[in-house]
Structure 1
Amino acid sequence: MSDAVLVHQDGAVLVLTINRPAQRNAVNGAVSREIADALDRLESSPDLRVGILTGAGGVFSAGMDLKAFAAGETIADPVRGFAGLVKRPPTKPLIAAVEGWALGGGFEIVLSCDLVTAGSGARFGLPEVRRGLAARGGGVFRLPRVLPRAVALELIMTGAPFDAERAAHFGLVNRLADEGGALSAAQELAKMIAESAPLSVRASKKVAIESADWPIDDGFDRQSAILDPVFASEDATEGVAAFRERRAPVWKDA
């Protein structure tokens, strides 16, 4: 294990920091493996409920490390894909805390997360078309799902960057912070999520993501298979009891 990704647990929150500032946090094989390992830890640990992904040195990520790729290095994790994330995000919530540039694969990492906080100086972009390439880490199909179609197509086809204020205007960014404040904003969001019932959060996230292509007529039947166990859980009983007794609930994730 190298120090390409720093991992720190803060209560129920696992903070992952891509730690290659001299390379603008470009993703090589070590970054992908270590993010994948950290996300496996997030998934398997009952005391962890939310993840935060950020970058060191005031930059989120410049995308794939082209020098490592040219040298024949295997960049993607075999299971979770590029950056140990884009093909198989965690079932638990993951927040991107963005400062500086999130370009190409770096932006695709952001798009693989559930929520986004950004410092005022953050910049996003998919410049692949300017290099004769394409954003194949999920960018070309995820971006039109989070931005209006015309806006997404403009960014995809021109490769032009856009700033944090515009990203927040169109709903890509949940919290716009002062420069340097993205991580603090993400920690605030994470703690709010961690206070909720973890079983409910995971199931609700699953429905929200998977229902994008469900026919309306099938929606209630399909969600039942995912949400009915939530209502039958011990945490559902605990949540009602805590409300009646005016106390904080004690979740068992069961």
Structure 2
Amino acid sequence: MIITINRPAARNAINAAVSIALGNALAEAQRDPEVWVVVLTGAGDKSFCAGADLKALARGENIAHPDHPKWGFAGYVRHFIDKPTIAAVNGTAFGGGTELALASDLVVAGESASFGLPEVKRGLIAAAGGVFRIVEQLPRKVALAMLFTGEPITSSEALSWGLINEVVPDGTELDAALALAARITVNAPLAVQASKRVATGSDDGVVPGDEPGWSRTRREVATVFATEDAREGPLAFAQKRPPVWKAR
């Protein structure tokens, strides 16, 4: 199954409609015995996903899946399926875009792709798994530098640190992801799915090893997202001005 986030004019930022469609598609992939691999990509050539739609957040909109909030950001980051998932990253993957890549089993990226968790620049934290998954998937000091500075890394840097599997020429990301999927689907699907369940430590669709990270994230979100700075960050973004931090 190929799932495409189709909001190129908004850099494929995630709003409620995307969360609903993406989460439902992933659930369908899990149910369908003929789907053996899922490939996630973004429309256009500029951005895989710019993260949460900050303008929607500034308007007070809920961008989660209304029926399945436990699936997490975009209906994806906490939505375990035992079919392998591949992110085909075309262009920038910032904030939630990087968190979608972190939540995917494998990642193929274009030469000009970049990854970053800039939430601190908006008075927020990477609440969709980024704060604990980035430290798991990168060397600790590299990951902490990304979290503390909010600065991105290139696809070649991501490859060198093992964050992604392959860098390909721009415009060929989806083809490369499908080629990788073909290398998976020559194998017995039930064996692949069982291998993923064991490798990820999943039990009945839940990855217990992730639960402490989600619990800590919820606690910090309850504090940070209620601050004046958390309101100022998205508002400043929407108004196209530098934020004024107050540390409260």
For the superposition of Structure 1 and Structure 2, which TM-score range results when normalised by the shorter chain?
0.7 to 0.9
Aligned-pair CA distance for 1:196: 1.1
1:206 is aligned to: 197
Query: How big is the alpha-carbon RMSD for the aligned residues of Structure 1 and Structure 2?
Result: 1.6
Aligned partner of 1:193: which letter?
A: I
Question: Is structure 2 residue 56 aligned with structure 1 residue 68?
Answer: yes
Aligned partner of 1:83: which letter?
A: A
1:17 is aligned to: 4
Contact map agreement 1:89 1:113 (CA 8 A) in 2: no
Aligned-pair CA distance for 1:197: 1.1
- Unaligned 5+ residue runs, structure 1? 1-13, 215-254
Q: Deviations over 1:186-244 (max 9, x none)?
A: 00011111111111111111221228998xxxxxxxxxxxxxxxxxxxxxxxxxxxxxx
Structure 1 window deviating more from structure 2 (107-116 vs 78-87): it is 78-87
2:245 is aligned to: none
TM-score normalised per structure 1? 0.76
1:235 is aligned to: none
Aligned-pair CA distance for 1:66: 1.2
Q: Separation in 1 of the partners of 2:83 and 2:30?
A: 7
1:157 is aligned to: 148
Q: Separation in 1 of the partners of 2:122 and 2:54?
A: 12
User: Greater Rg, structure 1 or structure 2?
Assistant: 1
| Residues 91-240 of structure 1 mapped to structure 2, 5 A cutoff | 91-210=82-201
Aligned-pair CA distance for 1:155: 0.7
| Residues 237-248 of structure 1 mapped to structure 2, 5 A cutoff | none
Aligned partner of 1:66: which letter?
A: L
Give runs of ≥4 in structure 1 deviating > 4 Å: 211-214
Aligned-pair CA distance for 1:122: 0.1
Aligned-pair CA distance for 1:40: 0.9
Structure number with higher relative contact order (C-alpha < 8 Å, ≥ 6 residues apart): 2
Aligned partner of 2:99: which letter?
A: E
Q: Separation in 1 of the partners of 2:142 and 2:201?
A: 23
Aligned-pair CA distance for 1:144: 1.1
Question: Is structure 2 residue 22 aligned with structure 1 residue 31?
Answer: no
Q: Separation in 1 of the partners of 2:89 and 2:194?
A: 26
Q: Separation in 2 of the partners of 1:88 and 1:38?
A: 11
Structure 1 residues 213 and 31, CA gap change in structure 2 (3 angstroms): closer
Contact map agreement 1:128 1:159 (CA 8 A) in 2: yes
Q: Name the % identity.
A: 52
TM-score normalised per structure 2? 0.78
Q: Deviations over 1:149-196 (max 9, x none)?
A: 111111111111000000001111111101111111100011111111
